[in-house]
């Protein structure tokens, strides 16, 4: 799909309410965060580096006939630039039935090891997520307005949750393999309401400074670190940025987020 169509699809997904216009990203306060703010860039990780071993799995339901194998291997060779003889793969699978399954699995893992994913949330007030991803409330939560940088967020999708691996059939879902795997998680994680943004390769990608609109500090954030970050973002001249902080709500298991 060309860039124009991708941006049109992204705009429609926002209009249809499939993805929110504001996304949140928890992180600890560290040199990596300082670099993120100084350079206005985010790290997109390879899915193979994720903590959850159940993440990015599939249940292959394809009836792999010789013709299907030829088609898949040909497309794989074209996409990766590898020198792979489809007839050799077919012949080996005929000699050792099931050997193509290993070929498919190896290629699938290799594909996952190259793409980039960065993760967001849909709200900033989930107590569990502050505890899990912001160093027990001593870290931060970054707020992004994705309408301010459509290019950066063009491949942004809501994660689906299930108690089964997503089923994949090459015959009917040829171009959906990566998305199905990367955008499905165990329903144990449903409380996160996660959103993922994808890139073709892992690495650092710059975002427009206009789209970072808030840095929300945890209630236990170190005042000296708040001061450091305040200076960093002032020097970096973010045009729309507010600094805020979590406050514990008296007598309730809840929080307020206030300007500082």
- pLDDT, one tens digit for every residue, the chain (260 residues): 567 777 888 888 888 888 999 999 999 999 999 999 999 999 999 998 988 888 888 888 888 899 999 998 998 888 778 888 999 999 999 999 888 988 888 888 888 888 999 999 999 999 999 999 999 999 999 999 999 999 999 999 999 999 999 988 877 787 788 888 899 999 999 999 999 999 999 999 999 999 999 999 999 999 999 999 999 999 999 999 999 999 999 999 999 999 99
Q: Which residues of 81-105 are buried (b: 16+ CB within 10 A; e: fewer)?
A: eeeeebeebbeebeeeeeebeebbe
| Any domain includes 224 | yes
| Any domain includes 249 | yes
| Any domain includes 71 | no
Considering its fold, how many domains does the chain have in total? 1
Provide the token pair at 170: 């090459």
Burial class (CB in 10 A: 0-12, 13-18, 19+), 144: buried
Q: Could you list the residue range(s) of the whole structural domain that residue 138 is in?
A: 3-46+115-159+194-259
Q: Where are the beta strands (DSSP E) in the chain?
A: 22-27, 41-44, 59-60, 116-120, 140-145, 156-158, 160-162, 167-168, 184-186, 195-199, 203-206, 212-217, 242-248, 255-259
| Any domain includes 146 | yes
| Any domain includes 188 | no
Residue of 120, 144, 117 whose CA lies nearest to 199 = 117
| Any domain includes 108 | no
| Any domain includes 229 | yes
pTM of the model: 0.89
Rg, the chain, Cα only: 21
| Any domain includes 32 | yes
């Amino acid at each position: 799909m060309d860039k124009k169509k991708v941006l049109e699809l992204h705009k429609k997904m926002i209009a249809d309410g499939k993805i929110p216009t504001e996304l949140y990203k928890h992180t600890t306060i560290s040199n990596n965060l300082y670099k993120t703010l100084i350079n206005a860039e985010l790290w997109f990780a390879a899915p193979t580096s994720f903590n959850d071993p159940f993440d990015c799995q599939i249940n292959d339901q394809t009836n792999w006939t010789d013709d299907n194998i030829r088609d898949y291997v040909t497309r794989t060779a074209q996409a990766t630039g590898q020198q792979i003889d489809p007839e050799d793969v077919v012949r080996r699978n005929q000699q050792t039935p099931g050997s193509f399954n290993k070929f498919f699995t190896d290629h699938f893992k290799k594909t996952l090891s190259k793409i980039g994913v960065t993760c967001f949330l849909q709200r900033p007030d989930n107590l569990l997520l502050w505890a899990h991803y912001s160093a027990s409330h001593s870290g931060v939560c970054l707020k992004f307005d994705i309408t301010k940088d459509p290019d950066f967020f063009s491949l942004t999708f809501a994660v689906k949750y299930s108690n089964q691996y997503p089923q994949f059939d090459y015959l009917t879902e040829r171009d959906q393999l990566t998305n199905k795997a990367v955008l499905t998680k165990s329903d144990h994680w449903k409380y996160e309401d996660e959103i993922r943004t994808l890139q073709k390769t892992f690495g650092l990608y710059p975002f427009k400074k206009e789209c970072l609109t808030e840095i929300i500090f945890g209630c236990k954030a170190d005042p000296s670190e708040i001061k450091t970050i305040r200076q960093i973002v002032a020097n970096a001249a973010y045009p729309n940025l507010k600094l805020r902080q979590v406050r514990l709500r008296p007598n309730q298991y809840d929080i307020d987020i206030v300007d500082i």
